[in-house]
Amino acid sequence: MSLKIVMIGSGYVGLVSGTCFADFGHSVTCVDIDAEKIERLKQGEIPIFEPGLDILVQSNTEAGRLSFTTDLATAVSEADVVFIAVGTPSRRGDGHADLRYVYDAARSVAMSLKGFTVIVTKSTVPVGTGDEVDRLVRETNPEADFSVVSNPEFLREGAAIDDFRRPDRVVVGTTEERAIQVIQEVYRPLSLNEAPLMFTDRRTAELIKYAGNAFLAMKITFINEVADLCEKVGADVQAVARGIGHDNRIGKKFLHAGPGYGGSCFPKDTLALVKTGQDNESPLRLVETTVAVNDQRKRAMARRVVAACGGEVRGLTISLLGLTFKPNTDDMRDAPSISIVQGLLDAGARIRAYDPEGTSQAKKIFDGIEYADDAYSAASNADCVVLITEWNEFRSIDLHRLGKLMATPRLVDLRNVYLPAEMKAAGFQYTSIGRGSSGAAVADKAS
């Protein structure tokens, strides 16, 4: 059965989710207060980079299943389900999730409800937010017939469409039978993939999202600290990661040493969970430490580059490959590159950078750096190349060509994309993450 779905918020989560629901066969209207963004979407212009999203938006728009509007009232009045997918950034000053956009959306929805409607919080929100949404809707429209459900998203930027279509699980926070039946219908197409719908109470669903992201952030931070130890004792962090990752209790994912986590989720979600624990007198010490260690690590990466250059970068040209927090996205939010660029600029370096998709977003953040059109032009006459984001195109770089273009063939690999042996053969001074002297030999043999 096709449902009428409204998605409030046409940012990353809202646009991807709304488009995928339309692809399921539902009639979806994406609503946003940004009239310029809505007009661009109507013209087929996608405001974010996500592989395959432009094609999916086009096909579902042409099929009449997906539309865009600023008219919230009309859209909500006709809806069976309304998803709230607005931003919940960290609140300036205290780190709590800023819920003003969620609550504003709830009030607006309340004024336009007609008939039984399921209101779903898709935004990442702290425990108890659904209760407040419920209260606000009842306060605004006492006659409304509705149910508030928590349905957190678990989409990886760069792989969001596949994640939506083939999820590990779909978490749904509600105990109301009418709402359960509607949500089952919303996600019915996933039954072909046997994706588990996990129904729980609303508060538990809200906490599952934060707990999941915090656990993954801790896993990343753990392997980064192990990488530092590997450098001190002459071990190889990649071999360590493989060795522990084969243990099913630990798993292989999120054990890649690097410059620290960034992005739209982990930094703000870990901080929000820390604040929730403190507010409820149940501090989460492991998560608190994870936040602190990750912040320190990102700042330390610039010092690592300076050390690789002999302890001084003033007047040197440093080439950065990759600026976004991960590949296959243009998202610069809390990217490690931000701390690295600032640290190198403070040390007196000249910066030239290249990113396949992130340049336009980076220009909104950085002042005083130069941008290149490809990796080779970025490296031309550079004193050091720093690989920050592991875009696939960087894995196939002609290292001999790159080295000949540089003033000094020196490369700092913050993602361990290259093997020490191949870098030595190409004539590079090479620095990577968590590979001690004996560890480098192990990595070469393993490959």
User: Which residue, 354, 433, 344, is CA-closest to 394?
Assistant: 354
- Are 144 and 138 spatial neighbours (Cβ–Cβ below 8 Å)? yes
Query: Tell me, what DSSP letter sits at residue 191?
Result: G
b/e per residue, 374-393, with b = 16+ CB within 10 A? ebbebbeebbbbbbbbbbee
Look at residues 172, 177, 145, 207 and name the one whose alpha carbon lies nearest to residue 83.
172
265 included as an active-site residue: yes
CA–CA gap between residue 125 and residue 276 (Å, rounded): 11
Instruction: Supply φ then ψ for residue 90, to 5 degrees.
Output: -65, 135
State the catalytic residue, choosing from 20, 30, 230, 265: 265
Question: Would you say 138 and 120 are in contact if contact means Cβ atoms under 8 Å apart?
Answer: no
Beta bridge partners of residue 146, listed in sequence order:
117
**Contact assessment for residue 298 and residue 337, using Cβ atoms and an 8 Å cutoff:** no
- Closest by CA to 86, choosing from 21, 32, 155, is 32
Rounded Cα distance, 174 and 203, in Å = 9
- Closest C-alpha among 339, 389, 388, 348 to residue 368: 348
- Annotated catalytic sites, by residue? 265
